[in-house]
Amino acid sequence: MQVLKKLPKNIEGRDFVVGDIHGEFNLFQDKLTEVDFNPLIDRVISVGDLIDRGPDNVKCLELLDRPWFHAVVGNHEDFMFQCVLGASLVGSNYWYPNGGDWSKDIPEAYLKSLAKLAWDKMSVAIEIDRGDKSIGFTHAAPPRGYWDEESLKDYNHLLWDRSMIKSKFLGPTKDIYHTYHGHTPIKGTVTKANMTWLDTGAVYQKQGGYLTILQV
């Protein structure tokens, strides 16, 4: 798996970031319709957790084969890597109790191909070049202090941290203009310093959750 994927400036279309989809494929499609998404020129960057708890996990993983869709790895994909591929960034093996039981209905060979697709296509972080500034994406939180390749190897922090979104005294991440993250379900987007969290609980719609997509 690549640590940092760098995307060139999108000179023809728009870039969007989407919060944790968690298997809610149809809801994601509805959001693309709302923003009049054009797959020929626009791009989507996902902050991870494409899978688990929702109904259409296979379809969400298949998004990784589309040239306009890019995603950082979330802790739920890491669960899958551990259980299906025997590979992991963090090493947790609690997938089934955390929504991974959908995988039991998928033929083993195809499940492995989906996990391999995710391993090959996803990255720990994504950075979009904007010329004089760059925008970064990781799953749970930005790296501590500086946005650089060494700090982006702190996988446990980047996939699991919830302390930064809760902190009242949070300074900006240096060497990056702005960053976007998911992981922690919240009632509305939260921005602190130069960081924004946007997991608004798409998989918890009965409790008022919804999927957030923002143009960046």
How much is the average pLDDT of 90-103? 90
Instruction: Show the tokens assigned to 97.
Output: 């109790």
pTM given for the model? 0.97
**Which residues are catalytically annotated?**
76
Largest interatomic CA distance in the chain: 48
Strands 190-192 and 195-197: antiparallel
- In the chain, what are the domain boundaries? 2-215
Instruction: Show the tokens assigned to 29.
Output: 């499609």
- As a dihedral over the C-alpha atoms of residue 164, residue 166, residue 169, residue 170, rounded to 10 degrees, the angle is 30
Is pLDDT of 65 > 80? yes
Using 50, 70 and 90 to split pLDDT, how confident is the model at 22? very high
Phi/psi at 201 (5° precision): 75, 50
Percent of the chain at pLDDT > 70 equals: 100
Give me the residue label for tokens 């798996």: 1
Q: Which CATH class is domain 2-215?
A: alpha beta
CA distances 45 to 41, 50, 135, Å, are 14, 11, 11
Is pLDDT of 93 > 80? no
Strands 123-129 and 134-137: antiparallel
- Determine the Cα–Cα distance for residues 74 and 48; give it in Å rounded to an integer: 4
Using 50, 70 and 90 to split pLDDT, how confident is the model at 74? very high
CA atoms within 13 A on the CB side of 135: 16
pLDDT in the model for residue 143: 97
pLDDT in the model for residue 122: 98
Is pLDDT of 166 > 90? yes
Q: How far is CA 200 from the centre of its chain?
A: 13
Using 50, 70 and 90 to split pLDDT, how confident is the model at 169? confident
- Determine the Cα–Cα distance for residues 29 and 112; give it in Å rounded to an integer: 25
Is pLDDT of 92 > 80? no
pLDDT in the model for residue 131: 84
How much is the average pLDDT of 122-138? 95
pLDDT in the model for residue 132: 83
